[in-house]
Amino acid sequence: MIKRIYILLALSLSTVSAASTPSQKKDVIFLWDLHHVLLKPKGRIRALKHYPHKKKALRNTNLRRKFLKYSLVSRFKEVSSEKFLELGDRYNNPYFKEMILTASLAQEPMKKTVAILEELKEKGYTHHVGSNMGITTFNTITDEQKHPQFAPLFKSFDLNKSHVVTRKTDVVKKPNPKFFENYLEKNNLDPETTRIIFIDDRKKNVKAANSVGLEGVRFKNATQLRRDLADMGIDISR
């Protein structure tokens, strides 16, 4: 009788233990913002200043005025690189487009955060990009042959399932909840069955992700990110 009680107790404890185990790695997806989380600007003004065909890029007066207007707006509100590149198409100016891409690529990986990404990748977690970066810049920066300096960062991602700004007009970008809805629809994902953890440095973007069922971590620094992920039951060292 006592032996039977011990067996039942052991089975009960194992059931509780299984129920409290964190989500399996295959059921967890990390959705990462890029700017100021994994990448930081470096030398953008210098890149524009030293672009060799700057006069040709800005030879059209109307294009130049639009460029200045968008640049001023971008100081207070995020403007997608696709919006700038559209000007190059509108005024048929390939030099302008090249100049904008040159400035957009003037960034460097944030080593401590990239180390977290790589550690999670080694542990078997899946990673997607969720950024307001324009699709043209994204396709360029992830081209390993042209820009090998970014390859160590993007090798950890499933780029085909990542989500960035793809349109030049009627742009849907964070913090619009539709951005995250489009990402879920694109990959046939349901937050009810797949745990999706979104990491972004902007509070309003994290709130928008929460509104459609994603978990969110507001990024401040690598130390804080490690601590928050560990507190969420993610297999990572503090």
**Interval 177-191: pLDDT, tens:** 999 999 999 999 999
213 in Cβ contact with 197 (< 8 Å): no
Q: At 62, list the tokens.
A: 């109307």
Q: What's the confidence (pLDDT) of residue 16?
A: 37
188: left (phi over 0), alpha (psi -120 to 50) or beta: left
- How many whole angstroms separate alpha carbon 127 and alpha carbon 154? 10
Return the domain boundaries, the chain: 25-40+108-231, 44-104
Q: Report pLDDT for 26.
A: 64
User: What pLDDT, on the 0 to 100 scale, is given for residue 3?
Assistant: 42
Q: What is the pLDDT of residue 214?
A: 98
158 has which bridge partners? none
**Residue stretches of the chain with pLDDT short of 50:** 1-23
The gap between the terminal CA atoms of the chain, to the nearest Å, is: 46
Distances (CA, A) of 102 to 59, 66, 97, 190: 18, 18, 9, 37
This prediction has a pTM of 0.85
Pick the CATH number of 25-40+108-231 from 3.40.50.880, 3.30.70.100, 3.90.199.10, 3.40.50.1000: 3.40.50.1000
Give me the pLDDT at residue 159, please.
Answer: 97
The pLDDT value given to residue 130: 97
What pLDDT was estimated at residue 237? 80
Q: How far apart are CA 197 and CA 195, in angstroms?
A: 7
